[in-house]
């Protein structure tokens, strides 16, 4: 099976989508049944092959700026369809953010929504990474349910229980709450910050945020964190807090669960699918008071933290990149 894969953003993207694509591609490259061509936008695509091979741990693929004529299917893993003309298309959609939270300006709104609309119109199959996302695609893009299949994501093997080997100087010897992600509005981080200031800050418990965005000066800001340092941050946290109002899947909570880190998350969108019974939920995620109560509860109850630490890895074991890859290959081959 010759699969062409849209990899135009793989070298520069730092979001969960790129984590997903690297995890699946690195496994596809070990499958003898699969011939891969990675699609890029550069005029001299072969110059990108070494950098892509370094990320994927193999150079057993071709690189092209256009779809090969003998490719049986093109996989578009970035929500939108950016390479046109394939005989058969499979698209992975991770959410419907541009429709659930449309941009205010007409031009920006159009540029964000159009790639999704092209995918909805041209995809033979759409992979959604949660049942919540499947419902959102059906709701906003009117895609027939029979054209969609749910294939969940997973956490990498690096995320596992244990003691942190090293922590940043700002957190060494301190108790802290951890958040990982952007600070865009739907992530609801300002509610978390306000609740932390009203509950745990005065008790000397820090709030650490891993994000490329600017954070307030009283928050510990962490950037450019490697996977093993991420693991240590999860392992060392008093709890992981995820106040998001809208997630297509939610990799950071699953990574935290894999490390046995007690997680406090919004009961919203896909998060109950991902976290199951292994998290402490905030039923009113937009409420500062609700988050203040949740943070106080988790900080004060060692029994609750121990129970969540026990349940987290068990829940995370239900997800596997190997299973994600196999299910994706089945869809690409025309099954599922």
CATH number at residue 18: 3.40.50.2000
Q: Do 291 and 200 share a structural domain?
A: yes
DSSP type of residue 105: S
Cα 324–Cα 325–Cα 331 angle in degrees, nearest 5: 90
Which residue stretches of the chain are H helix?
16-28, 49-56, 97-100, 106-122, 131-141, 189-199, 227-236, 251-258, 271-275, 288-300, 302-316, 321-332
What is this structure's pTM? Answer: 0.95
Whether residue 161 is contained in a domain is answered as no
Give the 3-state secondary structure of residue 263.
strand
Beta strands in 80-175 (DSSP E): 89-93, 125-128, 148-150
Q: Do 312 and 326 share a structural domain?
A: no
Q: What is the mean pLDDT of residues 243-250?
A: 97
Whether residue 24 is contained in a domain is answered as yes
CB count in 10 Å sphere of residue 177: 26
Write phi, then psi, for 210 (nearest 5 degrees).
-95, 110
Q: Do 139 and 214 share a structural domain?
A: no
**pLDDT value at position 228?**
87
Q: How many helices (H) and strands (E) does the chain have?
A: 12, 13
d(CA 335, CA 189): 40
Q: Do 8 and 149 share a structural domain?
A: yes
**Structural Rg of the chain based on CA atoms:** 20
Whether residue 217 is contained in a domain is answered as yes
Q: Is 238 within 8 Å of 92 (Cβ atoms)?
A: no
Q: Is the pLDDT reported for residue 335 higher than 80? A: no
Whether residue 90 is contained in a domain is answered as yes
Q: Checking DSSP bridges between strand 220-222 and strand 239-242, what pairing results, if any?
A: unpaired
Q: Do 127 and 36 share a structural domain?
A: yes
221: left (phi over 0), alpha (psi -120 to 50) or beta: beta
**pLDDT value at position 33?**
84
Nearest Cα neighbor of 28 from 288, 333, 334 is 333
Q: Do 278 and 264 share a structural domain?
A: yes
| Domain span including residue 232 | 176-316
Write phi, then psi, for 264 (nearest 5 degrees).
-115, 115
d(CA 17, CA 77): 8
Strand order in the sheet with 263-266: 220-222, 206-210, 176-180, 239-242, 263-266, 280-282
Token pair recorded at residue 43: 């005029």
**pLDDT value at position 47?**
73
Give the 3-state secondary structure of residue 256.
helix
Q: Do 202 and 122 share a structural domain?
A: no
- Range name among 30-44, 109-123, 186-200 with the lowest pLDDT average: 30-44
**pLDDT value at position 222?**
96
Q: Is the pLDDT reported for residue 46 higher than 80? A: no
Whether residue 166 is contained in a domain is answered as no
Tell me the per-residue pLDDT of 54-89, one tens digit each, with 9 for 90 and over. Answer: 999 999 999 999 999 999 999 999 999 999 989 899
Total structural domains within the chain? 2
**pLDDT value at position 224?**
84
CA 274 to chain centre: 11
Q: Do 146 and 94 share a structural domain?
A: yes
**pLDDT value at position 336?**
58
Token pair recorded at residue 69: 């004529």
Q: What percent of the chain has pLDDT over 90?
A: 91
Tell me the per-residue pLDDT of 260-302, one tens digit each, with 9 for 90 and over. Answer: 999 999 999 999 999 999 999 999 999 999 999 999 999 999 9
d(CA 149, CA 100): 21
Q: Do 241 and 327 share a structural domain?
A: no
Tell me the per-residue pLDDT of 139-178, one tens digit each, with 9 for 90 and over. Answer: 999 999 999 999 999 999 999 999 999 999 999 999 999 9
Q: Do 297 and 324 share a structural domain?
A: no
d(CA 263, CA 237): 10
What pairs with residue 91 in β-bridges?
76, 126
Whether residue 210 is contained in a domain is answered as yes
d(CA 270, CA 135): 10
Whether residue 168 is contained in a domain is answered as no
Q: Do 288 and 225 share a structural domain?
A: yes
Whether residue 171 is contained in a domain is answered as no
Q: Do 328 and 300 share a structural domain?
A: no
């Amino acid at each position: 099976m010759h699969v062409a894969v849209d990899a135009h953003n793989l070298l520069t993207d730092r979001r969960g989508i790129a984590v997903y694509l690297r995890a699946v591609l690195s496994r596809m490259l070990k499958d003898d049944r699969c011939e891969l061509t990675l699609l890029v936008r550069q005029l001299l695509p072969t110059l990108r092959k070494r950098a892509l091979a370094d990320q994927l741990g193999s150079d057993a693929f071709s690189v092209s700026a256009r779809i090969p004529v003998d490719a049986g299917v093109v996989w578009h893993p970035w929500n939108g369809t950016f390479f046109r003309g394939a005989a058969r298309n499979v698209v992975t959609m991770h959410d419907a953010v541009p429709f659930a939270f449309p941009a205010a300006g007409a031009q920006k709104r159009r540029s964000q929504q159009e790639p999704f609309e092209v995918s909805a119109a041209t995809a033979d199959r759409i992979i959604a990474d949660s049942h919540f996302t499947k419902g959102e695609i059906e709701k906003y893009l009117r895609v027939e349910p029979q054209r969609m299949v749910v294939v969940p994501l997973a956490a990498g093997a690096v995320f596992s229980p244990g003691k942190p080997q090293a922590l940043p100087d700002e957190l060494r010897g301190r108790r802290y709450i951890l958040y990982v992600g952007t600070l865009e509005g739907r992530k609801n981080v300002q509610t978390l910050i306000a609740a932390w200031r009203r509950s745990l800050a005065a008790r000397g418990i820090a709030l650490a945020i891993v994000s490329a965005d600017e954070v307030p000066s009283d928050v510990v800001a962490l950037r450019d964190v490697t996977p093993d340092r991420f693991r240590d941050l999860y392992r060392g946290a008093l709890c992981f807090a995820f106040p998001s109002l809208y997630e297509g899947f939610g990799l950071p909570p699953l990574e935290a669960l894999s490390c046995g880190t007690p997680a406090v998350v919004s009961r919203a969108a896909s998060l109950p699918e991902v976290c199951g019974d292994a998290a402490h939920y905030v039923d009113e995620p937009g409420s500062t008071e609700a988050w203040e109560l949740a943070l106080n509860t988790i900080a004060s109850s060692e029994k609750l933290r121990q129970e969540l630490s026990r349940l987290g890895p068990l829940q995370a074991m239900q997800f596997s990149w190997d299973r994600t890859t196999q299910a994706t290959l089945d869809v690409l081959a025309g099954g599922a």
